[in-house]
Amino acid sequence: MQKGNEILQGKTSLLNTKFSNMDKAELLSAVIEHAKRRERANLIFVNVDVIMKMEKDDYLRQISEQAEYVLADGMPIVWISKLKGRTLKEKVSGSDFLPLLCEQAAKEHLRLFFVGGREGVAAKAAMRLADKCKGLEITGTYAPPFGFEKTPDEIAKMNQIIRESNSDILVVCLGCPKQEKYVYENQEKYQIPVSVCAGAAIDFLAGNIKRCPSWMSRCGLEWFYRFLQEPGRLFKRYFIDDMQIIRLIFKYRD
């Protein structure tokens, strides 16, 4: 498995993060080429919450700096890029990108494996995607037990299952930073060229969490829609932790 530098796009520095300045069509074309050539590509979708996590986690930042593709997953990041004169082309979220990837993978006869979610969630998401994308080959799904990342035997077991699937694309939905760290530390062991860290996308694809209306997404209100669905869990993230992004706008002049 090689690293396909000739496919990589230039990056835009913003908020101490290097973003791939690509729209969904450009990203899709590049990722499909990586998979077809069996050349390594790691995709990370970065929203405000991930940026705040990287402020406190140097290892996570290191991982993002070495990822082939780092996408702006949120309109606030796109707005900040315009404010700073470093305009990013568009918001690219995992939930929006994965259906496009699956549709094209079906046409190119590329095989996918899904990891993450509670028991049965990945399988449900895979089934729904297979219904929508005729000809899509999903080689398997796996929901690792809670705390697997602290158990070498569990990690080795998961790597073996994924490796033996002989897939072209791995979709990892374990939440940040667990998914990014797992991919970074294990890609050479599970030996799948393209790894997509997609977070909550698996719950959206399974239909367990409802996506916000498209107009709210365009207006940058997807976070508020999600908050209304899970206020107890998301209040601190959105109204305390993520508000620190204002401080970073002034901290990083870029």
Using one digit for the tens of pLDDT, what is the confidence trace for 99-139? 999 999 999 999 999 998 888 888 888 888 888 898 999 99
pLDDT at 189 over 90: yes
Final residue before a domain boundary, out of 206, 222, 238: 206
State whether 187 and 220 are in the same domain: no
State whether 80 and 104 are in the same domain: yes
State whether 162 and 81 are in the same domain: yes
13-27, pLDDT tens digit by residue? 999 999 999 999 999
How far CA 152 is from CA of 114, 181, 186, 187, in Å, comes to 20, 14, 11, 15
State whether 70 and 117 are in the same domain: yes
Question: Would residue 15 be called left, alpha or beta, if left means φ above 0 and alpha means ψ between -120 and 50 degrees?
Answer: left
Position 126 scores a pLDDT of 87
Position 253 scores a pLDDT of 77
pTM equals 0.90
Position 242 scores a pLDDT of 87
Final residue before a domain boundary, out of 189, 206, 223: 206
Position 118 scores a pLDDT of 81
State whether 81 and 44 are in the same domain: yes
160 Cβ partners below 8 Å, 6+ apart?
Answer: none
State whether 200 and 244 are in the same domain: no
238-253, pLDDT tens digit by residue? 888 888 898 898 888 7
Residues 228, 141: Cα–Cα separation, whole Å: 30
State whether 224 and 196 are in the same domain: no
Final residue before a domain boundary, out of 170, 185, 206: 206
Domain that holds residue 235: 214-251
Total count of domains within the chain: 2
Q: Which stretches of 167-244 are DSSP H helices? A: 178-190, 201-206, 214-218, 222-229, 231-236
State whether 223 and 201 are in the same domain: no
42-78, pLDDT tens digit by residue? 999 999 999 999 999 999 999 999 999 999 999 999 9
State whether 11 and 125 are in the same domain: yes
State whether 223 and 198 are in the same domain: no
Q: Report the DSSP pairing between strands 194-197 and 39-46.
A: parallel
b/e code 132-149 from CB counts within 10 Å (16+ = b):
ebeebebbbbbbbeeebb
Instruction: List the CATH number of the domain containing 175.
Output: 3.40.50
State whether 201 and 234 are in the same domain: no
State whether 24 and 92 are in the same domain: yes
